[in-house]
Structure 1
Amino acid sequence: MRYSLLMHYPEMTEAELGEDVLAEGKAAFDAYAKSLDSAGVLVSAEVLQPVASATTLTLREGSRKIQDGPFADTKEQLGGTFVIDVPDLDAALDWAGKCPAAQYGVVEIRPSAVFFHDGQWQGAM
């Protein structure tokens, strides 16, 4: 079953983090991604650009509304995702517990309802 590991954490600039912390974080995420990949469970991994680069679109009453920034104004931002394919929630929880973001933020584990692969929707809609 596919699960998305959604990493929410306070957004900090490189200057706020410092070179050493930034290097440690990059190394930790690199090792984590490589462990997922070598276990054969990694489907995709994405680190998102800062929330200031986000644009939100909504359609209301036939009109398109575009807003700079995220929809929610929160202290923690969605910073990236890992999509994994594992047998069950327990396995997804085990992998989420190894995610570096869990040490300073929140990792939301959400099962996929459907996904698009090889030109077709997979799962039950």
Structure 2
Amino acid sequence: MKQYLLAVQADETKLETGEELAAQMARTGKVTDDMKAAGAWVFVGGLRRSHATTVVRPANGTVTMTDGPFAETKEQLAGFWVIQCADLDEALSWADKCAQACGRPIEVRPFASDPEDAA
């Protein structure tokens, strides 16, 4: 089995409120329950908005810390699932369900299985 990150991307200028958010949480909770039942679920987490981000950047033997997201873009990482699947096709199938449930783009990225994969 391989592990995959299903990263939820969100446009923070268009976040849902009230009933929309409750419906979205119910849908994504159902997908998470389905993942658990199928043995694919490892971990899930929602993230605070990007203003709560701190970037720690190495440079010349020291680090700098700055507030805010690393990239200046409309879409920010909003949450994620970590799943385990036999292959990428199975991970993409789960990502399809996640995207439909939360109404947001899902980035699928395999975890590195050895040091060469991480480069």
Q: What is aligned with 1:35?
A: 34
Given that 1:9 and 1:104 are in contact with CA atoms closer than 8 Å, whether structure 2 keeps it comes out as: no
Which blocks of at least 5 consecutive residues in structure 2 are unaligned? none
* Superposition CA RMSD, Å: 1.8
8 Å CA contact 1:4, 1:109 repeated in 2: yes
For residues 16 and 111 of structure 2, the distance between their equivalents in structure 1, rounded to whole angstroms, comes to 33
SS at match of 2:70: coil
Structure 1 or 2: more helix by fraction: 2
Q: 1:124 aligns with which of 109, 114, 117?
A: 114
Aligned length: 114
Shift of 1:103: 6.1
TM-score (norm 1): 0.83
Partner amino acid, structure 1, of 2:104 = G
Check conservation: 1:9, 1:77, Cα contact below 8 A. Answer: yes
**TM-score normalised by length of structure 2:** 0.87
Q: CA deviation at 1:21?
A: 0.4
CA 1:103–1:45 in structure 2 vs 1: closer, same or farther (change >3 Å)? closer
Contact 2:10 / 2:77 at 8 angstroms: preserved in 1?
yes
What is the distance in 1 between the residues matched to 2:101 and 2:73?
A: 18
SS at match of 2:69: coil
